[in-house]
Amino acid sequence: MKRTISAGLMLAAGLGTGTAQADTYGLTIASSHTTALPWVAPLQSRVVAEANARLEAAGSPNRIDWTEAFGGSLYGFGDTLAAVELGITDIGWVGTLWEESSMPYQNVTFYTPFTTNDPQLLLDTFNRLHDELPFLAESWDEHHQVFLGASAADTYHLLTNFPIRSVDDLRGRRILAPGASGAWLSAVGAVPVSGALTTYYNQVETGIADGVLVILTGAYPLRLQEVAPYVTLVGLGANFIGAMSVNRDSWEGLPDDIREVLVELGREYSNENGALLQARYQNVIAAYQDDPAVTVSTLPEEERARWAEMLPDLASQWAANLPYGAELLDAYMAAITDAGETPLRDWSQ
């Protein structure tokens, strides 16, 4: 597949044929999820929509002939990294949150809860860290791709079928949680239960779980409030969840001016991801507050601080297993505090 794509780009550019460079480059852009999600939508609304206009404005004769394959039409959520690596798509959204063994550095935020609830700060931070720390870019290169722009999800809260006034109320309760975030719950005596956004409703409705630790922008469209009507705003932290990246062969077959435009749009992709998250998050909060069947409360700050202190040293345990784990941890926490944020817990200590 990679050889076919690379050969197609070489033919389009006239490489090895002695002909003049053509001005149209066919690129596929794809994702495992639909454009309804804030980390997928900008691939279409920003990257595809703007690329050729930017090239024209710069006076370039080159254009991109886009093939769009969103919504899992080429591959599923478990294959996002491999799909770009193998050239099934030239450009795509890679969900690093499902790739902890392959891309452990990109999962640092899941071991540093209560650091920041600001997804835009998180996006800016990880874009900068990828520029400054060589091992982050190299981790993408190991999978035959180039990082273009970070993606993030909004902060985590609780939707339950019982009220929560204290972390003690979670003791013994079965709470659905994704991946490494299960450790956030077990620290306060809750029982983490595996599941996915698409299974949460049924699991709570049938009594398999008493609630969900979840991002609100994911919970609301799935109507989780119908089975878990107590919305407790906890703010365990926004998370880096992946990135827009491009296959290395495809990248090397592109002229410099198209590369420059894609780099520029990669950062704008991140900015649009952040803006969409913030807008949708605020809309969901308002919708919950307007729903008479939903009870919205905020976990008291002292209880949040208790929760943060009850957590084991997740970050140091994570960092100890990675050559550059401590370096990334220090750089990440420094970047967040330098931006004026005050994490409930300094995971670099």
Confidence of residue 21 (pLDDT cuts 50, 70, 90): low
Cα 116 from chain centroid?
15
Q: Is residue 67 located within the same domain as residue 213?
A: no
Report yes or no on 79 lying in a domain. Answer: yes
Model confidence pLDDT, tens digit, residues 220-230: 999 999 999 99
Rounded Cα gap, residues 46 and 97, in angstroms: 23
Under 8 Å between Cβ of 191 and 241: no
Under 8 Å between Cβ of 96 and 241: yes
Under 8 Å between Cβ of 237 and 125: no
Give the pLDDT mean for 270-292.
Answer: 97
| Alpha-carbon dihedral 336, 339, 342, 348, rounded to 10 degrees | 30
Q: Is residue 131 located within the same domain as residue 211?
A: no
DSSP 32: S
Rounded Cα gap, residues 239 and 309, in angstroms: 20
3-state secondary structure of 213: strand
> Average pLDDT, whole number, for the chain?
93
Predicted TM-score of the model (pTM):
0.89
Whether the per-residue pLDDT at 39 is higher than 80: the answer is yes
Whether the per-residue pLDDT at 11 is higher than 70: the answer is no
Report yes or no on 183 lying in a domain. Answer: yes
Q: Is residue 139 located within the same domain as residue 177?
A: no
Give the pLDDT mean for 215-221.
Answer: 93
Number of domains in the chain: 2
Q: Is residue 251 located within the same domain as residue 202?
A: no
**Residue 330 vs residues 155, 206, 226, 319: alpha-carbon distances, Å:** 21, 43, 41, 10
Report yes or no on 99 lying in a domain. Answer: yes
Domain, as residue range, for 97: 2-103+121-151+240-280
Which pLDDT does position 1 carry in this prediction?
Answer: 39
Q: Is residue 176 located within the same domain as residue 99?
A: no
Under 8 Å between Cβ of 213 and 194: no
Report yes or no on 33 lying in a domain. Answer: yes
Report yes or no on 346 lying in a domain. Answer: no
Whether the per-residue pLDDT at 197 is higher than 90: the answer is no
CATH number, domain containing residue 311: 3.40.190.170
Give the pLDDT mean for 51-77.
Answer: 96
Residues in the chain, total:
349
Residues 6 or more apart in contact with residue 98 via CB below 8 angstroms: 77, 78, 80, 179
Which pLDDT does position 3 carry in this prediction?
Answer: 38
Report the share of the chain in percent with pLDDT over 70.
94
- Of 161, 168, 169, nearest in space to 208 by CA: 161
DSSP 339: T
Rounded Cα gap, residues 107 and 139, in angstroms: 12
Report yes or no on 113 lying in a domain. Answer: no
